[in-house]
Structure 1
Amino acid sequence: MTAPAQVAYDDVLRVWREADGIPQIEHAWLFDHLMPLGGDPNGPTFEGWTLLCALAAQTERLRLGVMVTSNRFRPPAMLAKIATTVDAVSGGRLEFGIGAGSRPGVPVARREYAAHGFPFHDAAHAVGSLAEACTIIRRLWTEPVPFDFQGHYHRLSGAFCGPKPVQRPHPPILIGGQATPTLRVVAKHADRWNMPGGSIDKAIERSAMLDRLCDEIGRNPAEITRSIVLPVSYDRPRHTRHTIRAALDGGFSHIVLGLGAPYPTGVARWVADSVIVPLSDTITAP
């Protein structure tokens, strides 16, 4: 994962092109913020989906996505169209990540809403809107004729998405978040669930909650892949491997390794050789 903030386009492109040629790295991610979360508050930040489409055109193998799209930024029908375009440009490699949006208690993230003229509703509104958005997007990707949708948060007339995504029935839907209301949306709509950081113990506790919520609606919890974002330490690769091992032992099989900027030369190869390969050797050893 390369957060597209405090970096240049060429920096991100360099890492993604390198990673595209390394089989041990299976997927690559951006984030969806419009202003930096750290460093110079007025530093550069690229829009996630535009950048993702450019990177899709410059790579051939990596699965790719935004970890995760803020449902607060784009109407769901427009987002469905954007995502379909990226899936087409990538040849069917999109992983569709979405979430409710920034939490009210994170001021450094919340400022981007006022700065771009977006309303910032409370958490209940955000989660309710997310649930409807997931329904709308899935229908747009799969239904062959226009439809109307009259929800509490979204209303569409004659909604239709053409072309459909390359992936059928649709790209995998990954929902990020850890609050119980969001996990209810995950239980109903997600193919993957991402735990956005925090301790491994907390992630395991939230995963167990997701299991219970799936049981409540009669869904097999095993249908939802568990994903987690873990930071990479350039100075302490052994520590990074230990954290990944704990996540794997906790049931998280989809590991997103967050790279800190500036990116060292050859960082993707370094991650493969210093983190992934040694860890894989310990997993496969008899």
Structure 2
Amino acid sequence: PVQKPHPPIFVGGDAPRTFERVFRYGDGWIPSLAERDGLPLAEKLARIEALATQARELGRSPIPITTFATPRDPDVIARLGEAGVTRCIFGLKAQAEAEVMPRLDRLAALIERCR
């Protein structure tokens, strides 16, 4: 980016060369935790920890990690924090206010429990 300082660049995905791209071009990593890809959460946590290990081995400061499609489970969120995740994104469907507001209330309560 031309702008200085530029907005942070988060590299998404989890292909074999993703970490290489994170270190070369990115300011952070944004993996999806969606269950539909078939990868168990334990393996996703291992990948998150592997990025932190690789950063240390390269003499780099910790790489910010933001998870996408984060499960709404306080225990999972705690494990993500222990593994080095710095931010979580939770999906919320575009629906009528009557549908969305209770979901936002539950999400706010979850966030408060996880602080």
What is the TM-score normalised by the length of structure 1? 0.33
Bigger fraction of residues in strand:
1
1:278 is aligned, of 97, 109, 113, to 109
Structure 2 Cα separation of the partners of residues 279 and 214 of structure 1: 30
Task: Trace 1:172-251 onto structure 2 (pairs within 5 A).
Answer: 172-198=8-34, 199-220=40-61, 222=62, 224-230=63-69, 240-242=71-73, 245-251=75-81
1:105-184 maps to which residues of 2 (within 5 A)?
138=1, 141=2, 165=3, 168-184=4-20
Secondary structure of the 1:241 match is: coil
Q: C-alpha displacement at 1:257, in angstroms?
A: 1.6
Larger radius of gyration: 1
**Residue 245 of structure 1, CA deviation:** 4.3
What is the letter of the counterpart of residue 41 of structure 2?
I
Q: How many corresponding residue pairs?
A: 106
Gapped regions of structure 2 (runs ≥ 5) = 35-39
Contact 2:77-2:114 at 8 Å conserved across structures: no
For residues 100 and 86 of structure 2, what CA distance do their matches in structure 1 show? 20
1:264 aligns with 2:100: no
State the alpha-carbon separation in 1 of the partners of residues 55 and 18 from structure 2.
13
Q: Structure 2 matches for 1:3-22, cutoff 5 A?
A: none
* Larger relative contact order (CA 8 Å, sep ≥ 6): 2
Identity %: 23
Cα RMSD of the aligned pairs, angstroms, is: 2.5
- 1: distance between equivalents of 2:100 and 2:9? 26
Q: Structure 1: how far apart are the matches of 2:72 and 2:58?
A: 36
Equivalent residue for 2:37? none
